[in-house]
Amino acid sequence: MDGLRLSARDGAEPVEAFIGRKVMDIWVASVAHRVGKQSLFRGQYNALGKLNLASIERIVSAKYQLGVTLNRQHPFVEVLVSDIEESGEALDLSELVREPLPPAFHRLA
């Protein structure tokens, strides 16, 4: 699983949440208006996760509360692009640093 994994508790019960790398890329692109650009690196989506923890917590909590209606088998919440869009949560990109790709990674026209 390549993405942001979060651990929480509902009372004594552990809860796991996951936002896939591609979902994070789409969320960033929707804010930064950089569709089709480079994917986030692990350090970048981890830093974004920490910076936006309150927003992510609200998204995960809202989906977790739906529990049984989503046919969830165990306390695991996978955040989808649709969950983010429905939440209306804003992503803070103020600390996102994008390093330029080395020439070997650029597509040839």
Position 37 scores a pLDDT of 63
Residue 101 lies in a domain: no
Q: pLDDT class for 94, splitting at 50, 70, 90? A: confident
Position 39 scores a pLDDT of 80
Strand, helix or coil for residue 9: strand
Handedness of CA 57, 52, 79, 42 (dihedral sign): negative
Residue 95 lies in a domain: no
Residue 104 lies in a domain: no
Q: In this prediction, what percent of the chain has a pLDDT beyond 70?
A: 79
Torsion angles phi and psi, residue 57, rounded to 5: -60, -40
Residue 108 lies in a domain: no
How many independent structural domains does the chain possess? 1
Query: Given strand 76-79, what is the order of strands in its sheet?
Result: 3-10, 13-20, 76-79
CA distance 68 to 72: 6
> What would the pLDDT profile of 11-41 be if each residue is shown by its tens digit?
998 999 999 999 999 888 887 766 556 788 8
Residue 97 lies in a domain: no
Strand, helix or coil for residue 15: strand
Q: In terms of residue numbers, what domain contains 20?
A: 3-89
Given a cut of 90, whether residue 50 has pLDDT beyond it is yes
Mean residue pLDDT of the chain comes to 84
Residue 12 lies in a domain: yes
Position 96 scores a pLDDT of 82
Q: In this prediction, what percent of the chain has a pLDDT beyond 90?
A: 41
Residue 94 lies in a domain: no
